[in-house]
Structure 1
């Protein structure tokens, strides 16, 4: 994790009803360890899982539960709390709370505070994996993202109900790090970073497709590292089964043309574009309306059409972002990567060897960073660590570009 510093930050922690509420107790302690001042507001259902006394002992302050607390509300206590907060973090955020927040309801103390405060709002979902996947929940989450509300998680894994999937609350330290990244400091603070990750799929018929081999892990790790470094991150993701990193806005696509449209739309507002996706170069000229059946001669010919070149089109923008490409090669890694750097007019390319157990669907990797003015080798390490090193290099190049061209802004 990045260095966590919340010194002096006034954090209002909202706790909603769900089994993950027990993690909020450790979260209060971790926020305090990072230097934050913490006040806790619980929903009535949250108090069925963890007692208010627990949070009072950990935070050192009384816990608020209701709008109808006569002693607190004599001086409009909920407005006072709303003004006090520099950040509001709701963790865990249940499906019910997310639905009420998305539709502007203010029927309890916590939702009222969220509407009455000008502080940045951060929501950490926690629920059963099927509830998270439900179309209603996803529609509500989309509304929150459109309003600029940060979504931290959820993570994927085993759940208290015995099921496995996305919906787990992020761990307390992950939440503290995500909150710190959205505030002060960070080598990419104030920067807007666009990342594409994963494969693209091109349909042949309703049941078959052409696709590139990619787990998306490296691109998702870069998105996580950029968010940790303080950037505003947009992640355009192909079809992968990975949880959204904390503090990242995710756009899901399937085909190369969909990815092209999403990237071009976001690139004009970005300082950096990291092209980590394995984009298909070709697509079938025609997609069959029905499943293609086997024929007696055993053969099938497909006519393919070239997909748009995402990197080339971003490079052609009048005010192009810093361009970082990836090159996955099975041989002559450095030579092929340098040729791609020049052909695509990139500022930096991250090259790695793939095949034979390297690169794809593994936790570790190594990278060779090549630019017009030098080369840097990043030895084998977990992809998350490599991503943090890459983000550091990107920050250096952004600072160098700003120094060379002050008119472009820092």
Structure 2
């Protein structure tokens, strides 16, 4: 799959530079055209000649060394690349990229490229775990950079832990898989996913909400995106990085979420209502902070609009998927919800278990559908579960070959 693909390898300073030489060899053997950029620090470990011999191309390290007068080197390389890999990526270059600093040829080129950029960190285990490095990695993930996680093992510094540059064979296999032609079953489809909780204000400083973290909804949105869909994510207040490659609309209340979803519903192919929307809100919103009174207090609540039912009532061609978070009789309530809301599928999960569901990284669900369809899914990471759910649903709908 790498035949005639243009891969720009950006090599920054660390003992793992020697692995980058092997990576150039592996990529070239797989048929890729490889060009190499190096920082000054990288050249302290390995000379450019090693990369030149392996790649059969000039090596670039000086922003102002223009080898061809007809082009500006770093712009030409940025446009040339089908894929950019930063390996090894030091804490220093990760910090620079996260903050938009362009003070050498690599960082300047990375700001100019529109190609996918993969970052393969390699550093001491404590450096990798440092809050500043974690912040910078999180920022780059939000900006759309992909990461090749370092492996665990014996490090050059003498520590044993996470920080080893991934092996060249593994990186080459990932690059090959990236360029492999894929059939995307949701290509051309418009998908809307709602995620997270809502907040129903009581007064200027208090609100009613629930324990939903939004993780499952975000996973569903990412899975739909990766399957080729044009995705709109309508998100309640969550503490999660915004996924790239989709439109994210932030809302707070159930009413705001209802209005956004209904406005877009007619044009959708699939609606996935993962959000844990409040069923009730305070009937009277207090304009000033409520003061503490002697004795007990009561609050009058009113129903919010049932978004899933409204979507079911209005449904024409859309595939409607709802989620049911229950604490008892999970399947019974999910099947009832399927009928009452005119949904096509309900994903039911038991949120009474503290190790899964709300706030957790794993989930255990049962998918129910019309004609008594039912399929259980074992405990797994929400990202994997989201893909598996969509795969099962699309196969059943005849949209997955």
Normalized against structure 2, the TM-score is what?
0.67
Query: Distance in 2 between the 1:272 and 1:209 partners?
Result: 31
Aligned counterpart in structure 2 of residue 73 of structure 1, from 34, 44, 68? 68
SS of residue paired to 1:73: coil
**Greater radius of gyration (CA):** 2
Query: Distance in 2 between the 1:58 and 1:188 partners?
Result: 42
Aligned counterpart in structure 2 of residue 305 of structure 1, from 283, 302, 310? 302
SS of residue paired to 2:60: coil
Deviation at 1:44, TM superposition (A): 5.6
Q: Which residue of 2 aligns with 1:389?
A: 388
Query: Distance in 2 between the 1:49 and 1:257 partners?
Result: 60
Q: For residues 200 and 381 of structure 1, do their structure 2 counterparts lie closer, same or farther at Cα, with a shift above 3 Å needed?
A: same
- Residue 164 of structure 2 corresponds to residue 203 of structure 1: no
Query: Distance in 1 between the 2:141 and 2:238 partners?
Result: 19
Deviation at 1:210, TM superposition (A): 0.6
Q: Which residue of 1 aligns with 2:124?
A: none
Q: Are the counterparts in 2 of residues 197 and 216 from structure 1 also a CA contact under 8 Å?
A: yes
Q: For residues 335 and 247 of structure 1, do their structure 2 counterparts lie closer, same or farther at Cα, with a shift above 3 Å needed?
A: same
Query: Distance in 2 between the 1:271 and 1:46 partners?
Result: 51
Q: Which residue of 2 aligns with 1:355?
A: 352
Q: For residues 396 and 301 of structure 1, do their structure 2 counterparts lie closer, same or farther at Cα, with a shift above 3 Å needed?
A: same
Q: For residues 386 and 350 of structure 1, do their structure 2 counterparts lie closer, same or farther at Cα, with a shift above 3 Å needed?
A: same
Q: For residues 113 and 276 of structure 1, do their structure 2 counterparts lie closer, same or farther at Cα, with a shift above 3 Å needed?
A: closer
Normalized against structure 1, the TM-score is what?
0.65
Deviation at 1:272, TM superposition (A): 2.3
Query: Distance in 2 between the 1:399 and 1:267 partners?
Result: 22
Query: Distance in 2 between the 1:279 and 1:304 partners?
Result: 15
Query: Distance in 2 between the 1:64 and 1:46 partners?
Result: 13
RMSD of aligned C-alpha atoms?
5.2
- Residue 239 of structure 2 corresponds to residue 241 of structure 1: yes
Q: Are the counterparts in 1 of residues 28 and 34 from structure 2 also a CA contact under 8 Å?
A: no
SS of residue paired to 1:287: coil
Is 29-38 or 390-399 further displaced after alignment?
29-38
Q: For residues 292 and 370 of structure 1, do their structure 2 counterparts lie closer, same or farther at Cα, with a shift above 3 Å needed?
A: same
Q: Which residue of 1 aligns with 2:288?
A: 290
SS of residue paired to 1:341: helix
Aligned counterpart in structure 2 of residue 331 of structure 1, from 324, 328, 332? 328
- Residue 86 of structure 2 corresponds to residue 86 of structure 1: no
State the Cα deviation string for residues 114-161 of structure 1 (Å, max 9, x = none).
65x7x5555879998679989xx98x999x7xxxxx455899xxxxxx
Query: Distance in 1 between the 2:299 and 2:251 partners?
Result: 23
SS of residue paired to 1:365: strand
Q: Are the counterparts in 2 of residues 284 and 303 from structure 1 also a CA contact under 8 Å?
A: yes
Deviation at 1:351, TM superposition (A): 1.3
Query: Distance in 1 between the 2:190 and 2:50 partners?
Result: 36
Structure 1 unaligned blocks of 5 or more: 1-5, 145-149, 156-170, 404-410
State the Cα deviation string for residues 151-175 of structure 1 (Å, max 9, x = none).
55899xxxxxxxxxxxxxxx99899
Is 25-34 or 350-359 further displaced after alignment?
25-34
Deviation at 1:222, TM superposition (A): 2.5
Q: For residues 32 and 175 of structure 1, do their structure 2 counterparts lie closer, same or farther at Cα, with a shift above 3 Å needed?
A: closer
Deviation at 1:336, TM superposition (A): 1.7
Q: For residues 106 and 379 of structure 1, do their structure 2 counterparts lie closer, same or farther at Cα, with a shift above 3 Å needed?
A: same
Structure 2 unaligned blocks of 5 or more: 122-127, 150-165
Q: Are the counterparts in 1 of residues 349 and 365 from structure 2 also a CA contact under 8 Å?
A: yes
Q: For residues 222 and 290 of structure 1, do their structure 2 counterparts lie closer, same or farther at Cα, with a shift above 3 Å needed?
A: same
Aligned counterpart in structure 2 of residue 343 of structure 1, from 337, 340, 343? 340
Query: Distance in 1 between the 2:25 and 2:273 partners?
Result: 35
State the Cα deviation string for residues 161-217 of structure 1 (Å, max 9, x = none).
xxxxxxxxxx99899979967984154452443322221122212332111222323
Mapping 1:160-239, distance limit 5 Å:
184-188=181-185, 190=187, 191-239=189-237
SS of residue paired to 1:241: coil
